[in-house]
Amino acid sequence: MKAFLYSGLFLGLTVVIAGCGSNTTDDPIPGPVLAVSQHLTLGNPSGATTDASQPTNYLLVKPQYALSYHRDRGTPNWVSWHLTSADLGSASRQDDFRADNTLPTGWYQVQSTSYTGSGFDRGHNCPSADRTATVADNSATFLMTNMIPQAPHNNQRTWANLENYTRTLVSTTQEVYVIMGSYGKGGTGSNGAQSTIDQGRVTVPARIWKVVVVLPIGDNDASRVTTSTRIIAIDTPNDNTVSSNWGSYRTTVDAIEVATGLDLLSAVSASVQSTVESRVDTGPTQ
Ligand code: MN
Ligand code: MN
pLDDT band with cut points at 50, 70 and 90 for residue 31: very low
Q: Would 208 be classed as within a structural domain?
A: yes
Residue 2 pLDDT > 50: no
Smallest-distance ligand from the CA of 156: 1
Residue 255 CA to ligand 2 center (angstroms) comes to 10
Catalytic residue among 39, 70, 124, 153: 124
Asked about 124 being catalytic, the answer comes back as yes
Q: Would 61 be classed as within a structural domain?
A: yes
- Can you give the pLDDT at residue 36? 80
Nearest-angstrom CA–CA distance, 200 and 221: 40
CB count within 10 Å of CB 33 equals: 18
Number of residues written out for the chain: 286
Residue 160 CA to ligand 1 center (angstroms) comes to 6
Domain that includes residue 271, residue range: 9-276
Residue 282 CA to ligand 2 center (angstroms) comes to 20
Q: Would 229 be classed as within a structural domain?
A: yes
Smallest-distance ligand from the CA of 155: 1
Q: Is the alpha carbon torsion for 114, 119, 125, 130 positive or negative?
A: positive
Residue 9 pLDDT > 60: no
- Can you give the pLDDT at residue 23? 37
Residue 83 CA to ligand 2 center (angstroms) comes to 20
Residue 268 CA to ligand 2 center (angstroms) comes to 8
Q: Would 211 be classed as within a structural domain?
A: yes
Smallest-distance ligand from the CA of 44: 2
11-20, 77-86, 184-193, 245-254, range with the lowest pLDDT: 11-20
Smallest-distance ligand from the CA of 93: 1
Name the phi and psi angles at 112, rounded to 5.
-60, -25
Q: Buried (b) or exposed (e) across 46-66, using 16+ Cβ within 10 A?
A: bbbeeeeeeeebbbbbbebbb
* Overall number of domains in the chain: 1
Q: What is the mean pLDDT of residues 111-135?
A: 98
Q: Would 4 be classed as within a structural domain?
A: no
Q: Which helix (H) or strand (E) holds 78?
A: strand 75-83
Residue 224 CA to ligand 2 center (angstroms) comes to 15
Q: What is the CATH number of the domain that holds 111?
A: 3.40.570.10
